Amino acid sequence: MEATVRLSRPVLQLTLALVKPDAVAHPLILQAIHQKILENDFIIVTNRDLTWSREASQTFYSQHSGRFFYQRLVEFMSSGPLRAYILAHEDAIRHWRKIMGPTQVCRARYTAPHTIRGSYGLTDTRNSTHGSDCPESASRELATFFPEFSEGAWAASGHSRGDFLY
Ligand code: UDP
């Protein structure tokens, strides 16, 4: 009798990960974050370095306009270079947000010291990384940073975890 071995091919989700200006400014921190992405088994679909205009920063964070930190956030995010990644993983959005850690730096330091924000965050605003918070945001954010990238074409091309492990 012939045995058939089926390897399951988990569905990969995409997320946008940003390294913010406080972390890009320090090559060792940028390198450590890159390493963390690799150690946590993400596939780096692509990445890009860029600097935002004030207007791009305002638009990206428009959902926070009116909040006490909005102006500070907009200034900070357009103050220096950013690195944007498209990351793929099973449940990528949740996985990346767990690795980033809590938004508030004190909370990150004391409750999740080994996360990126717990290790490298400087303040509640200068907290090293961003990650999409739901699939709809991820699609919108990927299109903002990588307008030439097609999620549909990527999925149709049959990428899956199996392609990388076996
Ligand atoms: N932020 C801030 N002060 C706050 C809360 C948020 O400066 O009290 C900034 C911080 O840089 C954060 C970003 O605004 O990453 C977006 O806030 P959000 O609540 O969406 O947090 P995130 O999803 O980034 O953890």
Closest ligand 1 atom to Cα of 102: 25
Could you list the beta-strand ranges (E) of the chain.
Answer: 13-19, 43-51, 81-89, 129-131
Q: Which residue of 70, 98, 125, 129 sits with most ligand 1 atoms within 8 Å of its CB, as the best mutation to test the pocket? A: 125
Closest ligand 1 atom to Cα of 61: 16
Residue where the block lists tokens 């508030």: 104
Q: Which residue of 52, 69, 128 sits with most ligand 1 atoms within 8 Å of its CB, as the best mutation to test the pocket? A: 69
Cβ–ligand 1 distance for 137 under 6 Å, the answer no
First to last CA, the chain: 25
Active site residue 89: no
pLDDT of residue 9: 67
Query: pLDDT band at 10, cuts 50/70/90?
Result: confident
pLDDT at 164 over 50: no
Q: 50-93, pLDDT tens digit by residue?
A: 999 999 999 999 999 999 999 999 999 999 999 999 999 999 99
State the average pLDDT for the chain.
93
Q: How far apart are CA 109 and CA 101, in angstroms?
A: 9
Structure tokens at 130: 């961003």
pLDDT at 165 over 50: no
pLDDT of residue 32: 98
C-alpha 34 – ligand 1 centre gap (Å): 21
115, 101 in Cβ contact below 8 A?
yes
C-alpha 129 – ligand 1 centre gap (Å): 10
Q: How far apart are CA 68 and CA 50, in angstroms?
A: 26
Q: How far apart are CA 158 and CA 19, in angstroms?
A: 28
Mean local confidence (pLDDT), 87-115 = 98
Structure tokens at 18: 């940003």
C-alpha separations of 58 from 13, 17, 90, 97, 158 in Å:
27, 18, 31, 22, 36
Query: Measuring CA to CA, which residue among 157, 145, 164, 153 is closest to residue 56?
Result: 145
C-alpha separations of 73 from 11, 84, 126 in Å:
34, 17, 8
pLDDT of residue 92: 98
Query: pLDDT band at 162, cuts 50/70/90?
Result: very low
**Among protein residues, the one whose CA lies closest to atom 11 of ligand 1:** 125
Query: pLDDT band at 166, cuts 50/70/90?
Result: very low
- pTM (predicted TM-score): 0.92
Mean local confidence (pLDDT), 19-46 = 98
Cβ–ligand 1 distance for 41 under 6 Å, the answer no
Q: Kindly state the DSSP code that residue 104 receives in the 8-state scheme.
A: S
